[in-house]
Amino acid sequence: MSASGVAGWDAEAEGYDEPADHGLRDPSVRAAWRSLLLGVLPQPPARVAEMGCGTGTLSVLMADAGLEVDALDFSPVMLAAARAKGAARSGVRFTEADASHPPFEQDAYDAVLARHVLWALPDPADALARWLRLLVPGGTLVLVEGHWSTGAGLRADQTVALVEGTGREARLTRLDDPALWGRTIEDDRYLVVSPSPALS
């Protein structure tokens, strides 16, 4: 992954869903992500704020599972694809906005999810603090990040340190199962879940 800025991500949008883990078009890859995410997200009824939703693949997956999803992205072209995907669903809304300053209601969401977004932000620590303000007491932060063979991304220890820097626990799981990616991976991909401090 290498894009940056709105224009860079707009340019990525057309072919964005082609890799197996992006579009989740392969039912077995989709099932792997569904199992992973629903295993750490709250049970419906619950509200999820998704940062940097891209083409909306995970937003729709969550809505299909009965979650109420507010998703944002700053790329109009990514969002057009997301809105087309979510058109037949009632449980998902898409907003054009900067993930560094999410315009969502504070103290309102049971979970915040971001996959492959934190690494791309200019000030990840500041963004993370703003994301946490969206959570209700007892809310869960779910981050999927990686440090890719291109050299881009965040190492797992960096993401764990960012979460722990907010005073919350960070539970790290390596995502090395080929079922998630449709192929064997060599680089470092992982999940960090920060449960409610009260529940840890």
Ligand X SMILES: C[S@@+](CC[C@H](N)C(=O)[O-])C[C@H]1O[C@@H](n2cnc3c(N)ncnc32)[C@H](O)[C@@H]1O
CB burial of residue 59 (10 Å; 0-12, 13-18, 19+): buried
Q: Shortest distance, CB of residue 155 to ligand X, whole angstroms?
A: 17
Pick from 32, 67, 99, 192: which binds ligand X (CB under 6 A)? 99
C-beta of 78 vs 92, nearer to ligand X: 78
73 binds ligand X (CB under 6 A): yes
Q: Closest Cα partner for 51 from 98, 106, 84, 9?
A: 98
x-or-dash string of contact with ligand X, 10-39, rule CB under 6 A: ------------x-----------------
C-beta of 74 vs 181, nearer to ligand X: 74
SS3 143: strand
Counting other chains too, the contacts that 70-74 makes at CB distance below 8 Å and 24 or more residues apart are: 70/95, 70/104, 70/109, 71/95, 72/96, 72/97, 72/99, 72/102, 72/103, 72/104, 73/9, 73/97, 73/99, 74/6, 74/9, 74/98, 74/99
C-beta of 98 vs 169, nearer to ligand X: 98
Bridge partners of residue 192, in order along the sequence: 143, 172
C-beta of 50 vs 68, nearer to ligand X: 50
The DSSP bridge pattern shows strands 109-115 and 47-51 to be: parallel
Pick from 20, 36, 37, 54: which binds ligand X (CB under 6 A)? 54
Pick from 20, 48, 57, 163: which binds ligand X (CB under 6 A)? 57
Pick from 41, 61, 78, 170: which binds ligand X (CB under 6 A)? 78
Contact 189, 158 (CB under 8 A): no
Total interface residues for ligand X by CB under 6 A: 20
C-beta of 66 vs 76, nearer to ligand X: 76
- Contact residues: ligand X, CB under 6 A: 1, 9, 22, 52-54, 57-58, 73-75, 78, 98-100, 115-117, 120-121
